[in-house]
Amino acid sequence: MVFNSCFDIIGPIMVGPSSSHTAGVVSIGKFGHDLFGTAPSVANISFYDSFSETYQGHGTDKAIVGGLLGFNPDHAGIKHAFELAKQQKMHFTFQLNEECPYYDHPNTLIVQMKRGETEMKFGGVSLGGGVSKIFLINDNPVDILLNSHIDYDRIRKKYLPA
Amino acid sequence: MDFQSIKDLLQHCQDKNVNIGELMLETEAAKTGRDREDIFEMMKERLLKMKEAIDAGISDPSPTPSGISGGDAYKMQKYKEKGSYLTGSLMIDAMKYAFATSETNARMGVIVATPTAGSAGVLPGCIFTLKENTDIPFDRLVMGLFTASAIGYVIANRSFISGAAGGCQAEIGSATAMASAAIVEMRGGTPEQAAHAGAMALKSLLGLVCDPVAGLVEVPCIKRNVIGTSIAFTSADMALAGLESRISFDEVIGAMYDIGKSMPRTLKETALGGLAATPTGEEIKERIMGKPCLKRA
């Protein structure tokens, strides 16, 4: 079961307009931020399917950048994520694609990010209602639900070069 | 103790002699080890956030940044003050509160997803309408959120709650079923009656596609939230009158899943079909988004 709590259904408390295309995407970005322990200096983001068709209307682009900056889904700064990223000298690009080759769901994205010498790639899927999952880290399939406790140290040890 | 179907849920309620809201609260406490009081307070915080979103929406007559919605909660308030409405005070309030929440959402204001942001207007619309029109105590409204979450929890785990995965039936359909069951329990109905209300509400919205104009959560999403409140109240009244759904709630949820799976991609939040693809829809998209600023891979 993916939805584990009454607060997965009544919640999150979040900035609109979409739980799957905004809030769930902020959480995916925040995973990248928390894994690095800081915002990346470069982020190349690929949107797939529904994300690539409707990202502008849902603020999906601002949501992923806001998450990479370390914001939570109810952060008022999400609206201004692009300006805030520029101030922090974070460079980001977007690429739009049709269906995702790695995971069969319309709300998927891949982030390739870099900070100093450290580089990594991860894939996230937004499952609805603000609940998201990481399905890929550096080409390894994983299954990390973002509405549960995440052991970042273990993930770093396993997937990030020391 | 956990439940994976409405049938399980009703069985647990019967075994423990509690209603659905109470069972959800107990289940959450058992799963997380948190105190019941803390969980209740967390839910109450969400109810208070819903109220803030409503207040922000009603007092704002301005259009949303896109210019295609906004100010309708304010208009409904003015209409109510004139006093010549048809459906009655209860329905006018529900419409007003649903508009207010969904307009706040479209303005990138803070809302509570119930179960999603696109469908965030239905449940607060119904709950604050009961507060306004009946003498229901505040704590009972909080318990109503637990009832609603139990229904959404089953739907989300058995089917889907996002428009991209299952169409609007998964969003407004789920929200309306949740609200309807919550109304029944807040009015003192039985868990069985709540389940019948939820089933009748979801049946009414099966097949509804997700076709947002320009990909914005505004047209037709906001008015579908408003209409959802009337289906929620109608289904609740039918259930409280003793009417039953001929098809069980679990089977209705299963039908929603099958329908969502066979729905074409153009009608699942891609803004490529339905109302999004009408001449007016295309024109709005062109005006708001201009030429696509990114090259497609």
Q: What is the spatial distance between Cα B30 and Cα B23, in angstroms, rounded to a whole number?
A: 10
- A127: its two tokens: 């499952």
Q: How far is B250 from chain A (nearest CA, A)?
A: 16
Mean pLDDT of B25-36: 97
Nearest to B126 by CA among B90, B170, B173, B169: B90
CB contact under 8 A, A4 and B49: no
CB contact under 8 A, B157 and A2: yes
Classify residue B18 as exposed, middle or buried by CB count within 10 Å of its CB (0-12, 13-18, 19+).
middle
Please, which pLDDT band fits residue B293 given cuts at 50, 70 and 90? very low
Q: How far is A33 from chain B (nearest CA, A)?
A: 23
Question: A153-162, B14-23, B47-56: which has the minimum mean pLDDT?
Answer: A153-162
Give the CA radius of gyration of chain A. 14
- B38: its two tokens: 């803390």
Residue B295 forms part of a structural domain: no
Mean pLDDT of B149-156: 98
ipTM of the complex: 0.96
Q: What is the spatial distance between Cα B140 and Cα B127, in angstroms, rounded to a whole number?
A: 10
* Percent of chain B scoring above 70 in pLDDT: 97
Classify residue B59 as exposed, middle or buried by CB count within 10 Å of its CB (0-12, 13-18, 19+).
exposed
What's the CATH number where B103 sits?
1.10.4100
Neighbours of A82 (CB within 10 A): 14
Residue B293 forms part of a structural domain: no
Q: What per-residue string of b and e applies to A62-78 under the rule 16 or more CB within 10 Å gives b?
A: bbbbbbbbbbbbbbeeb
Q: Which residue has the higher pLDDT, B290 or B81?
A: B81
Q: What is the pLDDT of residue B288?
A: 85
Q: What is the pLDDT of residue A56?
A: 85
A77 touches chain B (CB under 8 A): no
Range of the domain at B258: 6-288
* Percent of chain B scoring above 90 in pLDDT: 95
Residue B297 forms part of a structural domain: no
Do strands A118-128 and A13-15 pair parallel, antiparallel, or not at all (unpaired)? Answer: unpaired
A-chain residues within 8 Å CB-CB of B66? Answer: 57
Per the CB < 8 A criterion, the answer to whether A113 and A61 are in contact is: no
Please, which pLDDT band fits residue B65 given cuts at 50, 70 and 90? confident
CB proximity under 8 Å: A 92-151 to B: 94-97, 105-107, 126-130
Per the CB < 8 A criterion, the answer to whether B100 and B57 are in contact is: yes
A-chain residues within 8 Å CB-CB of B104? Answer: 16
Element (H, E) at B27: helix B20-32
Q: What is the spatial distance between Cα A73 and Cα A23, in angstroms, rounded to a whole number?
A: 5
Among chain B residues, CA nearest to A50: B270
- A105: its two tokens: 């769901």
Average pLDDT, chain B: 96
Q: Which residue has the higher pLDDT, A119 or B290?
A: A119
Mean pLDDT of B151-176: 97
Report the amino acid identity of residue B199: A
Residue B70 forms part of a structural domain: yes
The pLDDT of residue B295 is above 70: no
All residues at 6 or more sequence positions from A77 whose CB lies less than 8 Å from its CB, including other chains:
A66, A69, A71, A84
Rounded to 5°, the CA angle B233-A23-B28 comes to 60
Question: Which CATH number is associated with domain A16-149?
Answer: 3.30.1330.90
- B187: its two tokens: 């009015």
Do strands A42-48 and A91-97 pair parallel, antiparallel, or not at all (unpaired)? Answer: parallel
Please, which pLDDT band fits residue B1 given cuts at 50, 70 and 90? confident
Please, which pLDDT band fits residue A57 given cuts at 50, 70 and 90? confident
Of A11, A78, A128, the CB nearest to B162: A128
Q: What is the pLDDT of residue A162?
A: 66
Per residue in A109-156, pLDDT (tens digit) is 999 999 999 999 999 999 999 999 999 999 999 999 999 999 999 999
In the DSSP assignment, the letter for residue A77 is G
Three-class SS state of A38: coil
Average pLDDT, chain A: 95
Please, which pLDDT band fits residue A161 given cuts at 50, 70 and 90? confident
Mean pLDDT of B90-109: 97
Neighbours of A89 (CB within 10 A): 9
Per the CB < 8 A criterion, the answer to whether B275 and B224 are in contact is: no
Number of separate domains in chain B: 1
Among chain A residues, CA nearest to B66: A57
Mean pLDDT of B262-289: 94
Neighbours of A79 (CB within 10 A): 18
Sequence spans of domains, chain A = 16-149
Nearest to B174 by CA among B209, B145, B206: B206
Per the CB < 8 A criterion, the answer to whether B111 and B104 are in contact is: yes
CB proximity under 8 Å: A 38-57 to B: 46, 49-50, 52-57
List strand residue ranges (DSSP E) for chain B, in order.
110-112
Residue B55 forms part of a structural domain: yes
B-chain residues within 8 Å CB-CB of A94? Answer: 294
Per the CB < 8 A criterion, the answer to whether B163 and B225 are in contact is: no
Residue B1 forms part of a structural domain: no
